Amino acid sequence: MGRLEGKVAIVTGAGRVGNIGVAVARAFLREGAKAVVGTDFRREQAAEIEALVRADGSPGSFVLMEQDVTSEADWARVAEATVADFGQIDVLVNNAGLSIHGGIAQTSLDDLRKVMAVNHDALFLGIKACAPHLASAVERFGGGGSIINNLSMASYMPNATNIGYHVSKAAGRMLTICAALEYGPQKIRVNSIHPGVTMTPILREGLADYVAQGMWESTEAAEAALAAMNPLGVASEPEDTAHAFVYLASDEARFVTGASMYHDGAIGLRY
C-alpha cells in the first residue's frame, strides 16, 4: 500500500518538464494518490508532463489545469473542479514561484508586487479556497489534511540582490506558521519545505545568464560550483525534493505542523 493511498492533491506550478511540481505530482501518484490536479498558467507541455507523471504505471488520475495562482476566481474554480471530479481535497501543495532579480534600487514597485503575489498572496488564496475541503480529510484518514508551502532557504538567508524573492519567501514562512495555528483545530497541518540548490530548468537558465555575463566559463563549471557550495558536494534533483513532500503529505506526519523542513544539503548553515 502506498503512503498516499486514496488521497487527492492539488500541486501548483506543475507545468514545466523537469521542475519540482512535476516531480511532486509523479511521486504522489507513485505513492498511491487517487488523483493529482496539477496547475500552472502554462499548459504547452501538458501531454509530455502527463506521460512523465504516469511513467511508473501509477493507476491514479492526473490532470493539468490552467490556473493563475494570483487569481482568487481561479482558486475557486480549481477547488470546485477538484471536488466535482475527484470528490475531495486532502493535500494542497503551494509550489508555484517567481523570482525577479534586483535590490531595492533596481526593483520597481510593480515587479515587487508581482513576486509577492505569486510567492505570498497565492499561498493565502490557496489556503482560503481549499481549507474548507481539506477539513473533511480527517474523516477519511486519521491524519487529516495537509498543506505544504514550497518556500526556499531564501526565507532565512538575506540577499541584497534579490529583494522580492527573499522578502516574499520570508513572508511565506510567517503565513505558514500562522495558518498552522489557525487550522490545527480542524486537523489541517500546514508546513513549509525550504529547498536549497535544486537542478530545475529555471535554475539552469539562470546559470546560463551568469555564464553569458562571464561569471563562469561554462554551464558545467557553474553547476559544479553550485554543487560545491553544499557541504554534501552535490545539488538536489527535483526527485530528491519530492520525497520531502511525500512525507509531509502522508499520515506519517500527522503530528507535524508549523514545521520548516530544510531540504538544502546544509547550504543554509554555511551562508
Ligand X SMILES: NC(=O)c1ccc[n+]([C@@H]2O[C@H](COP(=O)([O-])OP(=O)(O)OC[C@H]3O[C@@H](n4cnc5c(N)ncnc54)[C@H](O)[C@@H]3O)[C@@H](O)[C@H]2O)c1
Contact residues: ligand X, CB under 6 A? 13, 15-16, 19-21, 40-42, 67-70, 95-98, 118, 150, 152, 195, 197-198, 200-203
Q: Nearest distance from residue 262's CB to ligand X, in Å?
A: 11
Note whether 239 and 168 are within 8 A (CB): no
Catalytic annotation, pick one of 165, 210, 262, 271: 165
Q: Nearest distance from residue 25's CB to ligand X, in Å?
A: 12
Q: What is the pairing mode between strands 91-94 and 61-66?
A: unpaired
Phi, psi angle pair for 105, to nearest 5°: -60, -35
Q: Nearest distance from residue 6's CB to ligand X, in Å?
A: 26
138 vs 208, which CB is nearer to ligand X? Answer: 208
Annotated catalytic residue 165: yes
Handedness of CA 174, 153, 148, 142 (dihedral sign): negative
Residue nearest to ligand X (CB): 97
Q: Nearest distance from residue 179's CB to ligand X, in Å?
A: 17
44 vs 80, which CB is nearer to ligand X? Answer: 44
33 vs 148, which CB is nearer to ligand X? Answer: 148
Provide the H-helix boundaries in the chain: 20-30, 46-53, 72-86, 109-116, 122-134, 137-140, 163-183, 201-212, 219-229, 238-249, 267-270
H/E element, 66: strand 61-66
The residues assigned a catalytic role are 165
